Structure 1
Amino acid sequence: MNATTTQTRHITLDALRGFAVMGILWVNITVFGFPEMAYISPIISTSGSASDIAAWTASFILFDGKMRAIFSLLFGASMMLVIERTSATGQSPAKVHYSRMFWLAIFGLGHFYLLWWGDILFLYAMSGAVVYLFRNWSAENLIKRGVLFYMIGSALLIIGMGTMFVLQSEAAQPGASQEIIDEYILMMDQLGASEEQLAAETALYRGSFIQLLTDKVTTQVIDPFKNLFLGPLETIPLMMIGMGLYKSGFLLGQGDPNSYRRLAIWGTLIGGIAFGGLAWLAANGEYEIILMMNISQAWSTLPRLLMAAGYVSILILVIQRFAHHPMMHRVAAAGRVAFSNYLGTSIVMAFIFYGWGLGLFGTIGRAELILFVLSTWGTMLLWSKPWLMRFRYGPLEWLWRSLARREVQVMRIAN
């Protein structure tokens, strides 16, 4: 393989990861600045103005779940890359991999308890521990089974979430038993969408760091483990698909250009129409909370995979077209230090919105939150490349690698 091919290969994966780490903030910004359920509905914790609804609709159609899906695909691809490189050096792939997943889990738990409840690193670490078992499968097998498992997971989510409608209907019947009514009340209470619960959550995040930490280690202590249910339903299948797409060369930009174009067009078109229909259904249903839970958490899963595939294809075509452009190299640099950018974003956003920092939680409109996203994108693009001109790894990438390999890694690039 010549030097040009190697470089193209790396810039494709790195730039994809850069676009993903920037895009995921567009979705996460809502739950940095508002209570959790504001992510589900545009009329929760806001006035429900035209700008609030427009901001939620744009985020739902264009970004919701797609960036997380791309991130999961790339995690599977990167995992295969590390396994290949480790094997080539004669080291034990299993030892290196499980050491990396152990420390990633520690980072994830620290992220959750100390910074932000929306951590995905712990879930990724646990899922990564499972998908390693499939590393020797063929590309075709990984993709086919990954898609099959994803579809089964989507079906289970749709059926499971659909029981909320059943309980809602039964509780609304004139002769509903007290047991059914109590079960319905408990379900609604667990959603945390009442005015009292939203006010309490807002007060908590405007409070001190000690208040937040105390809440995390008491009322939310097992939440990272509860979130692992997403592993077999979504994360593991997506990682499997990512492993297969890496092995096939698709994520390296080595596929047929016509295949990328077809998937780019049909994936985004069909997925986009489906998401547009779901957004219309949400508006037509006046954003009723149980409807919104089903739309955002279950009904959107299948078109989400289509749009994620379409987005990846579009981005690969763009990366190939502008592979030598300085801006693309900045995006790729942001992807090379995606771990630092992801956790660094949480630190900055927690400081901006939480009470131990600037305390802006719940005070800024949805549309205005996009300004924080854009400024953070600019920061990622500005710092990542100059840093990598001097150092081999991002600061947190260096720490993770040093811990996983039980040896302090050489950080500075020799002159």
Structure 2
Amino acid sequence: MTTATDRFVTLDTVRGVAVMGILLLNIIAFAMPAPAYYNPAAYGGSSGADLAIWLFNFVLFDGKMRGLFSFLFGASTLLVIDGASAKGENAAIIHYSRMIWLLVFGLVHLWLIWWGDILNNYAIIGMIAFLFRDARPRTMVLVGTVLLIVQAMIVTMLPLMLQAAQGQPADPSMHEMVEGLTHGFGKPSDAWLAEQVTLHRGSWLDIATDRFSEARFGPITGLFQYGWETLAYMLFGMAAFRTGLLTGAWERRRYVRWAAIGFAVSLPIYGLLAAWMIASDFALVTVVTAVMPATTFLRPFAILAWACLIILLMRPGGPLTTRVAAAGRMAFSNYLGTSLICTTLFYGYGLGWYGDLSRATVYLVVLAIWALMLLWSKPWLERFAYGPLEWLWRSLARGKIQPMRRTAQQ
């Protein structure tokens, strides 16, 4: 059996691992041109240690940490709703106020700081997820599965359109589509890559102007492109919260069984997909197929396995678990703080490291930021009730300044 305090520690610990794990993939998007995120042959090195790092991340972490974060968002949504209802507050007003302000934070992050923001999508999808707050876990899983089928149908169109474009090379619309996918998944020209490096080593105004021109409609297009998957993950997380998976209420052998099933289903196929991409020399159609439709139904198994493994390994009261849980309690501050640190390190208005580090070397930055998260989160929460941005978000959502310093009861 677990206590209420243990349940919060479990959620916070899984969230802490997720927010740290997201940086394993996002660091490439901070440090290099966009296609390097999916395609190591595009930039940053695709042999030796660089290839090994890509392989390790693709098989174990790519999409899984983001998905785990989405699971936790769904679980936290129910936690807030349940807490508001228990206090006699209007749960709908509390929830939608939080989502509206999260959308504001997300848009500021997207347009003014970094193009890879996920908060705006979470805010919009979170408004929809509220409608399922009273659904049975079985219904949540069923609806989530249907949403993944829709997502799979959408992303399957990408490689099909690429193949069709190969038969119509003179069609301007097809050429534009291929060029767009190349800039996201393929191996763009040296000239285009050089332009990206020059841009991101420039001024904040130049970078922000370009980012806004590219991403001004990002929240809308993102909703239709991958919102189905995001909502599915939130619903899975809500079901995992209601059934006790994410609160540590399951028996240990049940966690062991589902961790084993999840990894047994996902890891071998991820390994085969990685081998296929390497054998093709990271050809565009292969990469798009492997990282989009081929993994749609694999990721939930891997995410479930990671959640179970983290809960099995955590030790409530242990020094590492305590620090990771603190980082999870401050996930909002740590997520946005990471963007501020990384853009300062890599962009031209900071140190200007953009495009300088290899894929393997850039992970020294990850280790340093992880250390910062673990070092500052716990001492902060020993003095204050919330992380700085969590406090700001809560104050804005509730329309009044919230008490910041810890009380004896906290």
State the TM-score, normalized to the length of structure 2: 0.95
Q: Once structures 1 and 2 are overlaid, which stretch shifts more, 343-352 or 147-156? A: 147-156
8 Å Cα contact 2:165/2:178 also seen in 1? no
Distance (whole Å) between structure 1 residues aligned to residue 191 and residue 226 of structure 2: 32
RMSD over equivalenced CA pairs, Å: 1.5
* Distance (whole Å) between structure 2 residues aligned to residue 242 and residue 47 of structure 1: 36
Secondary structure of the residue aligned to 2:257 is helix
> How many Å separate the matches in 1 of 2:225 and 2:399?
31
Q: Distance in 2 between matches of 1:369 and 1:272?
A: 25
| Structure 1 CA distance for aligned equivalents of residues 225 and 72 of structure 2 | 17
Following superposition, the deviation at residue 28 of structure 1 comes to 0.4
CA contact (8 A) 1:143 1:245 kept: no
Residue 105, structure 1, aligned to residue 103, structure 2: yes
Question: Aligned equivalents of 1:187 and 1:378: distance in 2?
Answer: 41
Q: What displacement does 1:210 show?
A: 0.9
Aligned to 1:190: 180
SS of 1:111's equivalent in the other structure is helix
Give the SS at the match of 2:361.
helix
Aligned length: 403
Distance of 1:291 and 1:60 partners within structure 2:
14
1:46 Cα deviation after fit: 3.1
What displacement does 1:201 show?
1.4
Q: Work out which of the residue numbers 206, 214, 227 in structure 2 matches 1:211.
A: 206
1:332-371 paired onto structure 2 within 5 Å: 332-371=325-364
Could you tell me which residue of structure 2 aligns to residue 379 of structure 1?
372
The 1:115–1:232 alpha-carbon spacing in structure 2 relative to 1, beyond 3 Å, is closer
In the alignment, structure 1 residue 143 sits paired with structure 2 residue 134: no
Give structure 1 stretches of 5+ with no counterpart. Answer: 173-177
1:167 correspondence with 2:164: yes
SS in 1 for 2:62: coil
**Is the 2:256–2:309 Cα contact (8 Å) retained in structure 1?**
yes
* Equivalent residues of 1:40, 1:292 under 8 A apart: yes
Percent identity, aligned pairs only, is 40
Q: What letter is aligned with 1:279?
A: A
Indicate the larger mover: 208-217 or 15-24: 208-217
Change (3 A) 1:189 1:156: closer
Report the alpha carbon displacement of residue 187 of structure 1 after superposing the two structures with TM.
1.7
The aligned residue for residue 256 of structure 1 is 251
Instruction: Quote how far apart the aligned CAs of 1:249 are.
Output: 1.2
CA distance in 1, matches of 2:145, 2:230: 11
Counterpart among 295, 311, 316 of residue 316 in structure 1: 311
What is the rounded CA distance, in whole Å, between the counterparts of 1:216 and 1:402 in structure 2?
Answer: 29
Give the TM-score of the pair, scaled to structure 1. 0.94
Shift of 1:47: 4.3
Q: Is the alpha carbon distance of 1:156 and 1:170 closer, same or farther for their aligned partners in structure 2, counting shifts above 3 Å?
A: same
Q: How does 1:372-411 map to 2 (within 5 A)?
A: 372-411=365-404
Residue 327 of structure 1 pairs with residue 324 of structure 2: no
Give the gaps of 5 or more residues in structure 2. Answer: none
Question: 1:70-85 alignment to 2 at 5 Å?
Answer: 70-85=68-83
Separation in 1, partners of 2:46, 2:141: 41
Cα contact 2:159–2:288 (8 A) shared by 1 = no
d(CA) in 2 for partners of 1:92, 1:9: 24
**1:262 Cα deviation after fit:** 1.1
Contact 1:124 1:235 (8 Å CA) reproduced: yes
Match of 1:278 among 261, 273, 277: 273
